[in-house]
């Protein structure tokens, strides 16, 4: 049985806690590896290693830190296919989806290659009599990231690449469900020239997390996961004096206006609702057709598409999506479908009984589609994180704007329409952090920031883009005056520029 330990001080090390978690093959349900779960002292050791080497890394000039990012990109491209296979084997997403996971992560590394420009401060000569004013951006020190199972390459890279480029040392605590890709990425950073100890990976559960949240040497924490845990991480880390950015759950809605291109809308719903078996924080899980006529036309086209979804093992190049991460998660998603039926929603397509021939013990589930879902139902209120799409019929445009705006989550939303005025009005008014216009999954590119509102995001700064540089640095402002030989005497009032 393969054993996965930790990555500390530039090398893989065995766990010493005596506790392990199971890493499953989602296609078969079998345990394929054991991952060590770090104890308090192991995490403390990783922090101590990072703290010792961080000052020297911060002293490396930004251009040379950028070269490490560039070399990492080169190495990752060479291993792109093997990384995708490794990711797919532990997560269960199809190979093409795994490649997308890696690619979106590498795009943030590409953004981080511009760190010499991104770290430039401001300078004003002659701000006052013989006074110059300037600012600089300095790293925080040791920072940490706690990342989820659903994007085992993308989100760790979103977190660590900007942090490292800014001159910080980084402790990554990835999901214990699919830890192998983060471990390999750490090795590639070392091969790219990152000094040992600047990036460490500790695998673990709550004991490892709580150590990162409470240790005073860790200056900032980033998290992605469920909203309940995001709120806990945010509150605990903030109470311990840390800078925190936490991203939680979602219930992304797609508004379909009567004038929308219905074929385009159906294609978008199929891909965004069922891709990666719905295990995406940006998955569309609620379709909101405006008017009953629009809903009927939409469902006439949508039902056969859901019924025709091709589910297969993650290695099947023809599969639309593969298995879910674990049996426990599969059972949870099925229980939500049971709940929806109990709540009175109309189940138009039922994928609960799907079995994959030859993979009967795998974590497979067919697509499910509900109609007549109301905002009072739990299947509307709560994140299901599976291949389940709910249709909520809005009587008019105003209700369609109100539904996502009043939801507890505010991660992403989309509107499909040919009316530019309606789209512009929607974008301006909707209370959601990321908005798509005829674009179902509005994930911004790496040089913009990613983040949701309300219970989808805790903290003031978002992931990647300019916000990531602000999050991983402190601004120091310097006011300098050089004596000109004229003695002005003591000043007893607050300095001004008059």
**pLDDT tens track for 375-386:** 999 999 999 999
Q: With beta carbons less than 8 A apart as the criterion, state whether 66 and 113 touch.
A: yes
**pLDDT tens track for 335-357:** 999 999 999 999 999 999 999 99
pLDDT tier at 487, thresholds 50, 70, 90: low
Residue among 122, 423, 169, 154 at smallest CA distance from 282 = 154
Q: Does 166 participate in catalysis according to the annotation?
A: no
pLDDT tier at 280, thresholds 50, 70, 90: very high
Q: With beta carbons less than 8 A apart as the criterion, state whether 386 and 280 touch.
A: no
**pLDDT tens track for 461-474:** 999 999 999 999 99
237-256 burial, b at 16+ Cβ within 10 Å, e below that, comes to: bbeeebbbbbbbbbbbbbbb
What was the pLDDT predicted at 496?
72
Identified catalytic residue from 160, 246, 281, 368: 281
The pTM of this model reads 0.95
Region 375-403: mean pLDDT is 98
Report how far Cα 17 is from the mean position of its chain's Cα atoms. Answer: 29
Region 283-288: mean pLDDT is 97
What was the pLDDT predicted at 498?
63
Domains and CATH numbers, the chain: 2-248+456-478 (3.40.605.10), 252-437 (3.40.309.10)
DSSP symbol at 24: E
Region 6-18: mean pLDDT is 97
């Amino acid at each position: 049985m393969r054993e996965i330990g930790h990555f500390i001080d530039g090398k893989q090390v065995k766990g010493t806690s005596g506790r392990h978690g199971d890493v499953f093959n989602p296609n078969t349900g079998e345990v394929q590896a054991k991952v060590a779960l770090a104890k308090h002292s192991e995490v403390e050791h990783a922090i101590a290693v990072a703290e010792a080497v961080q000052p020297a890394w911060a002293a490396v000039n930004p251009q040379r830190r950028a070269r490490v990012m560039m070399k990492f990109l080169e190495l990752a491209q060479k291993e792109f296919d093997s990384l995708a296979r490794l990711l797919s084997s532990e997560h269960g997403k199809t190979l093409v989806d795994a490649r997308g996971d890696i690619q979106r992560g590498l795009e943030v590394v590409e953004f981080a290659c511009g760190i010499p420009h991104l770290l430039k401060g401001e300078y004003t000569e002659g701000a006052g009599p013989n006074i110059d004013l300037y600012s600089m951006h300095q790293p925080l020190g040791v920072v940490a990231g706690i990342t989820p199972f659903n994007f085992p390459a993308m989100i760790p890279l979103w977190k660590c690449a900007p942090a490292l480029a800014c001159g910080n040392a980084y402790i990554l605590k990835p999901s214990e469900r699919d830890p192998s890709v983060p471990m390999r990425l750490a090795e590639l950073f070392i091969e790219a020239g990152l000094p040992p100890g600047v990036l460490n990976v500790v695998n673990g559960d709550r004991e490892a997390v709580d150590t990162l949240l409470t240790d005073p040497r860790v200056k900032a924490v980033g998290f992605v996961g469920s909203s309940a845990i995001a709120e806990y991480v945010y509150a605990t880390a903030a109470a311990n004096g840390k800078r925190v950015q936490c991203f939680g759950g979602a219930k992304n809605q797609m508004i379909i206006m009567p004038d929308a291109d219905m074929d385009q809308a159906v294609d978008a719903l199929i891909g965004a609702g069922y891709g990666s078996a719905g295990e995406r924080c940006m998955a569309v899980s609620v379709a909101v057709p405006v008017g009953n006529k629009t809903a009927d036309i939409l469902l006439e086209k949508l039902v056969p598409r859901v019924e025709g979804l091709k589910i297969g093992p993650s290695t099947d190049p023809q599969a639309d999506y593969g298995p879910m991460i674990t049996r426990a998660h599969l059972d949870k998603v099925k229980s939500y479908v049971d709940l929806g039926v109990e709540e009175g929603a109309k189940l138009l397509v039922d994928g609960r009984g799907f079995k994959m021939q030859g993979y009967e013990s795998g974590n497979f589930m067919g697509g499910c589609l509900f109609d007549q879902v109301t905002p009072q139902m739990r299947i509307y209120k709560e994140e299901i994180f599976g291949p389940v799409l709910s249709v909520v019929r809005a009587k008019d445009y105003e209700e369609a704007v109100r539904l996502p705006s009043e939801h507890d989550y505010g991660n992403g939303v989309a509107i499909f329409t040919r009316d530019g005025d309606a789209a512009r009005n929607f974008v301006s008014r909707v209370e959601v952090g990321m908005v798509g216009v005829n674009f179902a999954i509005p994930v911004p590119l790496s040089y913009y920031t990613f983040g949701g509102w309300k219970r989808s995001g805790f903290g003031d700064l978002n992931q990647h883009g300019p916000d990531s540089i602000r999050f991983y640095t402190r601004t120091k402002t310097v006011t300098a005056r050089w004596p000109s030989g004229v003695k002005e005497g003591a000043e007893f009032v607050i300095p001004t520029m008059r």
